[in-house]
Structure 1
């Protein structure tokens, strides 16, 4: 068996990040997937919406393969951060379906083009605008995993659920019962370091 090529490795990590973000919505009600969990408004459904637009743009328009549903999305929605939240009229199902269609379109681009295929990111500065598929795979994979981390925190704040998947908590063996004690210990150490005790 031969080792997977660089494109296959990058694509696998991108798909894993996408799966984590979508899984973070499972089992939550409408309020919890939409409510702002940080002072800047970060919320679970908004992260999915944002990633649908970003993923399809960087693997669509950049390579001359526009995804019709998100072409010129930011021009049509000029309100700052309109891609980072969902209105009450935008259903969970519609946004998840958009993400599924957008990533399928992106996956076709990734599959059909070579890593050195050229593209142009029109909204980047001219000196960085000329890119390759490899650069976009790294860029979008990094952004997806960054937002998966945001989703981790939002979900934990919403209902305490943690982990990469239901079968993989990725907490180094800490059981949920120990987490409360662990958090208290960390708080004590932070207070001690700050001279608060």
Structure 2
């Protein structure tokens, strides 16, 4: 449970400190008569019996609950990314499927790399392994493809080590914990809450890329192993559906 005090100091007049003190002294004694295990709200009255605020007992919103939810979303995105490379050979996992070279193994490598930085370096907890593809002298997009000496297994293992490091950072810090992202320039002072939201948004975007790339590669689709989040149509149903969309587009 959470006890919340909302006191409008502007409404207390010129002697606000004395009025606030009187109100707080009264409630310091009165709380002993209040059932703090049940939600309730009580008015705060000034010496003229005008309401100037309230004191409420309610369920705790709890940073821990919010952090748990955010962390859960991030973990489910990780699971989806790993699922999108399951069952593929080395060629298909790295095959570029767009004019800008988007490929599944590169997406996984990139996502892991940015999380190593945001949940490592930004909070003074650097990921202990070198990532030469992020060095200042690395070639463009070096973090967006698997080098010849890298494999599905090595990139997957790298991602899992990064995510374990990120989990440790998230578990150890409060949502309000301060960090610094030097590559953000003047807006680089951040909190863990801000970085969690930023990384979830970024990883979700890349997971969407992975969804499309995998479907283009071999037709595999869906949200997760347990829940495709798609209509349960057979091959003919989907063919008819696509044809309908083509007809609508042609007539537009």
User: TM-score normalised to the size of structure 1?
Assistant: 0.91
Bigger shift: 69-78 or 21-30?
69-78
Q: Tell me the C-alpha RMSD between the 2 structures.
A: 1.7
2:209 aligned residue (150, 157, 165): 150
SS of residue paired to 2:135: helix
2:228 aligned residue (166, 169, 182): 169
1:178 aligns with 2:231: no
Conservation of the 8 A alpha-carbon contact between 1:56 and 1:70: no
Distance in structure 2 (CA, Å) of the matches to 1:25 and 1:98: 14
Higher strand share: 2
Conservation of the 8 A alpha-carbon contact between 2:180 and 2:188: yes
Distance in structure 2 (CA, Å) of the matches to 1:142 and 1:123: 18
* Structure 1 residue 61, shift from structure 2 partner: 0.2
1:114 aligns with 2:201: no
Instruction: Give the corresponding residue for 1:124.
Output: 184
1:13 aligned residue (48, 68, 73): 73
Distance in structure 2 (CA, Å) of the matches to 1:177 and 1:113: 51
Conservation of the 8 A alpha-carbon contact between 1:57 and 1:70: no
Distance in structure 1 (CA, Å) of the matches to 2:161 and 2:72: 18
Distance in structure 2 (CA, Å) of the matches to 1:143 and 1:90: 24
1:55 aligned residue (115, 121, 130): 115
1:190 aligns with 2:252: no
User: TM-score normalised to the size of structure 2?
Assistant: 0.72
Instruction: Give the corresponding residue for 1:40.
Output: 100
- Report which of the two structures shows the higher radius of gyration computed on alpha carbons: 2
Structure 1 segments (4+ residues) deviating >3 Å = 70-73, 172-177
Question: Gaps (5+ residues) in structure 2?
Answer: 1-59
Tell me how many residue pairs correspond in the alignment: 191
Conservation of the 8 A alpha-carbon contact between 1:61 and 1:71: no
With over 3 angstroms needed to count, the CA separation of the structure-2 counterparts of 1:60 and 1:72, relative to structure 1, is: farther
Question: Gaps (5+ residues) in structure 1?
Answer: none
* Structure 1 residue 125, shift from structure 2 partner: 2.3
Q: CA offsets, 1:43-94, max 9 Å, x none?
A: 0000110011101110000000000214675126521111000122111111
Distance in structure 1 (CA, Å) of the matches to 2:92 and 2:154: 17
Distance in structure 2 (CA, Å) of the matches to 1:186 and 1:174: 16
Bigger shift: 132-141 or 179-188?
179-188
Conservation of the 8 A alpha-carbon contact between 1:57 and 1:71: no
Q: Which has the higher contact order (CA 8 A, sep 6+)?
A: 1
Conservation of the 8 A alpha-carbon contact between 2:133 and 2:142: no
